[in-house]
Amino acid sequence: MLTRTLVVLSIALYLSPAAALSAEQGARSTASGSAMSLFVDATEAPRGIVHTRIEIAVKPGELTLYYPKWIPGEHAPSGPIVEMAGLRLTVGGRAVPWERDPLDMYTIHCTVPAGANRLDVALDALQSAHGIFTSGGSATEDLAVLNWNQLLVYPAVDSTDQLTVSAHLKLPPGWEHGTALETATEAGGEIAFTPVSLTTLVDSPVIAGAHYRRFDLSPGKTPAHAIDIACDSEAGLAASPELVAEWRQLINEAEALFGARHYRRYNFILTLSDNVAHFGLEHHESSDNRIQERSLVDDQLRKATSGLLPHEYVHSWIGKYRRPVGLTRSDFQKPMQTDLLWVYEGLTSYLGVVLTARSGLTTAEWQREDLASTAAWLDQRPGRAWRPLKDTAVGAQFLYGSPRAWNSWRRGVDFYGEGVLIWLDADALIRQQTGGKRSLDDFCRLFAGGTSGPPEVAPHTFDDVVNALNRVTPYDWRGFLNERVDSTSTRAPLGGITNGGWKLAWTDSLTPAMTASERAEEYVDESYSIGVVLGKDGVVTDVIPGRPAAKAGMGPGMRVVATNGRRYTAEHLRDELRAAKGGKKPFEVIAEHGDFVRVFQLDWHDGVTYPRLVRDESKPDLLSEILKPRTAPVAADVGERGR
């Protein structure tokens, strides 16, 4: 599965369905013809600013403009309004006064003068990496990811499906680009895209850069699939033929899992940089994936981030096509209801685990190691005693940006990792109930398969999930899900692991998956021994209530200086823990806290300990069956270089 940090950062985008929005009528617009033209000059993106000009068809009178607020897939009102500058409205070259709504900062009011039929809007989108997700770092000297919602304002309309946008983009000299949008014309670094609805435009980001490569992932087949990659260096683009073959098998495995596709084409856009925000954001016909610069050429980094593309790809079915009704909205201003994110993100996280193994991007053993980390981490979170999983979904809009400090007690967006455990539990149960004749694969085809075609949305409720599960095999699925989602529990739902023929166990060595995850995300996890998680330079990012460090008085924000008389490094910490195993003296930690230095005596004598899974030979090995490929491996093309 995804590493713990990437799971938290794996996020979702929506495409609003007009058919489901009859009760969601917005304010009537004075826009005429429901059309606008957008001209984006990204030639200065490397220095952190993008210039936009917008032409909006209008008629005289009061006009309301919106800056997108509820950003698709970020499940929060996270539109970076603070990054909009230089806003100027004009008609025929004459300034039109405007005023921000005193209650909604994302709303702009103006009056279109008599005789006018077009309003010109100019604004600058600042790229100061202020915030998380798409409002984090998105540009470097040699690449940029452009999210249209940050580059525009739009008139109030009944539905953004009904507002047609003609988008134009100018790139720095020599840059190439990739997107799911169709190109109408392209010349001299200036691209005109085929007009689409504002919904589709915002659902279709653009990646561009000086170091760029595209790989065809379904050569000669329809629909087309491709991966567009921009990197801070030419060397980082060197995807191996074997990796390209695994990406191609991912396409095949997803087809086998769902039985249908809901897009006209699909583009993975992949940013390789150490200087942008790292996360994944799904769209209906593409996904925005951002990882470290050398993630394709460094074996350890490649494996640590291997689950990102499968996760975001699954969202085309779970979250985009089948979407909780509370996440279907007619525009970008209406609040979303996020209580079913344990389906939207949780089921996607589980299927991402499955497809990562089935496609060969990692081995089944690697996925078991990562699953052990997820299970152990959630099983020892004391916050489980007061916050049910459903509340982490309902509170997603503030939990996404919550500090790492005291995360184990607060709980974060646990519906990602815990969703993996819940849906694995359901998969194993279906296999047991049907004697291996049916599985969660059957649920996926029933719930999210349907008929192949262009993007569409089929909203769902909790009852729809229960009913689909019952069609696969009759069971008390309502009670099964309510118990795991709505109730508090001091233990994580590990039934899928135990019923799948495995047990959570402990070892004194980091597994390869844990080692790669720690390196990729730059943390040190000793939560299972002394009860701390450390970031760069020994800074304590979390302490686990009830564990030795917390009992001794340590807290987040402290910086470990030395352990048992030796200056701190991750290696020294673990060496000292191992050396002290079985001893009688307290384990000593010296830490700085602001201008103060404190010495802590920890009551811990058991060395280091890390989670892993071991086989339970008394039960069938369902987990291995779940992770087994469904299609033949794709042969590597040794001549593959990409475009």
- For 402-457, the pLDDT digits (tens) are 999 999 999 999 999 999 999 999 999 999 999 999 999 999 999 999 999 999 99
Residue 637 DSSP code: -
Please choose, from the candidates 270, 216, 286, the residue with its C-alpha nearest in 3D space to the C-alpha of residue 248: 216
Q: 331 or 17, which is more confident?
A: 331
Cα pseudo-dihedral 375, 376, 377, 378, rounded to 10: 50
The whole-number pLDDT of residue 284 equals: 97
Contact partners, residue 73, CB within 8 Å, separation at least 6:
11, 12, 13, 14, 281, 282, 283, 319
**Range in 14-18, 504-508, 521-525 the model is least confident about:** 14-18
The whole-number pLDDT of residue 586 equals: 98
The residues pairing with 502 across neighbouring beta strands, listed in sequence order, are: 615
Residue 111, CA distances (Å) to 86, 91, 99 in order: 19, 11, 10
Strands 532-534, 524-526: pairing is antiparallel
- Tell whether the model's pLDDT for residue 32 goes beyond 70: no
Residue 359 DSSP code: T
Token code pair at residue 57:
């068809």
Mean pLDDT, the chain, as a whole number?
93
- % of the chain beyond a pLDDT of 70: 94
Token code pair at residue 580:
């002290």
* pLDDT band per the 50, 70, 90 thresholds, residue 561: very high
Mean pLDDT of 601-610: 98
- Tell whether the model's pLDDT for residue 208 goes beyond 60: yes
Half-sphere exposure of 329 (CA within 13 A, CB side): 21
The whole-number pLDDT of residue 639 equals: 65
- Tell whether the model's pLDDT for residue 472 goes beyond 50: yes
- Tell whether the model's pLDDT for residue 598 goes beyond 90: yes
Residue 633 DSSP code: P
- 529-602: CATH topology is Pdz3 Domain (2.30.42)
Q: Is 566 exposed, middle or buried (0-12, 13-18, 19+ CB in 10 A)?
A: middle
Mean pLDDT of 294-313: 98
Cα pseudo-dihedral 118, 119, 122, 127, rounded to 10: -100
Mean pLDDT of 501-530: 97
Residue 40, CA distances (Å) to 11, 44, 209, 227, 271 in order: 26, 11, 16, 24, 20
Mean pLDDT of 334-348: 98
Contact partners, residue 569, CB within 8 Å, separation at least 6:
none
The whole-number pLDDT of residue 97 equals: 98
Token code pair at residue 381:
């979170």
- Tell whether the model's pLDDT for residue 398 goes beyond 90: yes
- Tell whether the model's pLDDT for residue 162 goes beyond 70: yes
Domain with residues 326-508+617-627, CATH architecture: Orthogonal Bundle (1.10)
- Tell whether the model's pLDDT for residue 366 goes beyond 70: yes
- Tell whether the model's pLDDT for residue 20 goes beyond 80: no
Backbone phi, psi, residue 144, to 5°: -160, 150
Cα(169)–Cα(190) distance, rounded to whole angstroms?
6
Residues in the chain: 643
Cα(353)–Cα(364) distance, rounded to whole angstroms?
9
Mean pLDDT of 550-555: 98
Q: 429 or 31, which is more confident?
A: 429
The whole-number pLDDT of residue 132 equals: 84
The whole-number pLDDT of residue 15 equals: 31
Cα(293)–Cα(276) distance, rounded to whole angstroms?
10
Cis status of the peptide bond prior to 223, with omega within 30 of 0: yes
- Tell whether the model's pLDDT for residue 21 goes beyond 90: no
> Following DSSP, what letter does each residue of 41-75 receive, concatenated?
E-TTGGGTEEEEEEEEEE-SEEEEEE---SBTTTT
Compute the C-alpha angle 28/29/35, nearest 5°: 135
First to last CA, the chain: 30
Q: Is residue 194 a contact partner of residue 181, using CB atoms and an 8 Å limit?
A: yes
Mean pLDDT of 624-643: 88
- Tell whether the model's pLDDT for residue 300 goes beyond 90: yes
In a 3-state reduction of DSSP, which class is residue 257? helix
- Tell whether the model's pLDDT for residue 14 goes beyond 70: no
Q: Is residue 49 a contact partner of residue 124, using CB atoms and an 8 Å limit?
A: yes
Please choose, from the candidates 283, 380, 379, 360, the residue with its C-alpha nearest in 3D space to the C-alpha of residue 323: 283
- Tell whether the model's pLDDT for residue 471 goes beyond 60: yes
Mean pLDDT of 91-98: 97
The whole-number pLDDT of residue 128 equals: 87
* pLDDT band per the 50, 70, 90 thresholds, residue 27: very low
Mean pLDDT of 351-355: 98
Q: What are the domain boundaries of the chain?
A: 326-508+617-627, 529-602
Mean pLDDT of 455-468: 97
Q: Is residue 271 a contact partner of residue 483, using CB atoms and an 8 Å limit?
A: no
E strand or H helix that includes residue 184: strand 183-187
